[in-house]
Chain A
Amino acid sequence: MASSVDPDSPRFLRQRVLAGFGADGQRALAGATVLVIGAGGVGSAVIPALAAAGVGTIAIIDDDTVEASNLSRQTIHGVADIGRPKVDSAADAVARLSPDTVVVRHSVRFAEKNSFELLLDANLLIDCSDNIATRYIANDAAEIRGIPMVWGSASRYNGQVGVAWDEKGVDYRDLFPEQADDDGSLSCELVGVLPTVCVVIGAMMANEAIKLITGIGAPLIGRVVSFDALSGTTREISYARNPDGPRPGSLEERTAIREPDPDLAVTPTKLAQLLAGPTTAGIHETPPLLLDVREASEASFVSLPGSVLIPLGQLPDRLAELDSLLPSRNASIVVYCHHGVRSARALELLENAGFTRVRHLTGGIDAWRVQVDPEMAAY
């Protein structure tokens, strides 16, 4: 559904007159689709700010219902909303401010299995979630999808805000490479949070979102802002890409051009023949094992029938699973990913492990879609 937010509306006069922002900035906001994870304390500051500023489409995902203990900081919900799904009262709040903003409600949890589909229409992901596991799923999904993510957290008297954008050089894993075990001390449920920290952090996140959508200013890429409510100060931590950091995909993957080697690569058309088996004219080999080395979220969105999923990062530890599916390490394997770069890394890894007949799909599942199965969903 297209948004009907009118960028020329008098509602936006005070920002349209800003030098550098102007009518172009307002049009960019009206045309934007943002996905906000979490309609809690931080989301309560982010969502109204974006709606009132004229963002055309706001998708909100939250599987929670409003509780009395939320109301001190989750100000898009009121006493009368207790017991209602948070996405519903958040949508009402948006409608009061900007009835022409399209609100898409997802009353589910943001998880690996649905993350990719949820991000398909989004230009920007804003993670206001209250748990660390979601942060990593969000980071990885945005990275694979190739869009920026504004992230922020509030706990006790402190907050953090940053922007993860792999294509511009850094993501959340460059700051916190692996997910920490949360014994509860990382979340505000047990340790509490000062309501105004949520407001400050949410406002800074909305500010970053507007900057990214309109192209003004310098986003918080490679810099994280740390807010201390008790001293009333912010400090900045600059950080660079950690080359050893784990990541689900990379700029290289999306941009690399590789020349196919017939001993190592197989085209989509050729693979379709191989999978049809030895009865096909000119094919004398048994169908290869199809190994999908993408992330589970990608595989759940679309995959080649009959393939085995082992994400590239897990492959070194899961070779025994491959052995259990093959008569020997001399059996034929075709590895694939989205565009053919992760699969090239997997191929090298498998060869080093003693698998002798490994090839990978040139151009990945995306090339398969173009050349073999145009009905297949694209991403």
Chain B
Amino acid sequence: MTVVRYFAAAAEASGCDEEIWDEPVATVGELRAGLVARYGEPMSRVLSTGSFLVDGMVSRDPSRAVGERVDVLPPFAGG
């Protein structure tokens, strides 16, 4: 079971702060695809620049196994 947490623009795209991902996904790549399928263009934009932290470590390898917790976090630059 994977808990996906959404931050900032990712939370706006999903409409929630976190959810238990109820579809079977084995890899980071599958989860990314699932997120885009579920939340469309806004989530796709977040994922293009944002970080995907799997159990607290940035993962850019789509073949990596998903863990217990995935954090979706966009960078932003305003000061």
Residues of A at under 8 Å CB distance from B?
38, 40-43, 128-132, 135, 152-156, 158, 160, 174-177, 180-182, 185-189, 191, 193, 198, 224, 226, 228, 235, 237-242, 244-245
Contact = CB atoms under 8 A, between A and B. Distances in A.
Given A182-B77, A186-B49, A187-B77, A239 B8 contact: no
B11 to A, nearest CB: 7
Given A41-B78, A128-B79, A186-B49, 16 more contacts: A130-B77, A131-B77, A135-B77, A153-B76, A154-B78, A155-B78, A175-B58, A175-B73, A180-B49, A180-B50, A186-B77, A188-B78, A228-B8, A235-B5, A237-B71, A238-B56
Contact of A180 (B53, B75, B78): B75
A43 B56 CA distance: 29
B56 A176 contact: no
Contacts of B8: 155-156, 158, 160, 226, 228
A174 B58 contact: yes
B11 A153 contact: no
B38 interface: no
B53 A239 contact: yes
Nearest to A197: B78
B75 A186 contact: yes
Given A237-B53, A238-B56, A130 B78 contact: yes
Contact of A155 (B5, B11, B17, B77): B77
B51 interface: yes
Contact of B58 (A185, A189, A198, A245): A245
Given A175-B51, A237-B7, A240-B56, A42 B73 contact: no
A239 B78 contact: no
B73 A226 contact: yes
Nearest to A41: B79
A236 to B, nearest CB: 10
A42 B79 contact: yes
B76 A158 contact: yes
Contacts of B75: 132, 153, 175-176, 180, 186
Taking each of B9, B50, B78, which has the highest tally of chain A beta carbons within 10 Å of its own beta carbon? B78
Contacts of A238: 56
Nearest to A222: B56
Contacts of B73: 175, 224, 226, 237
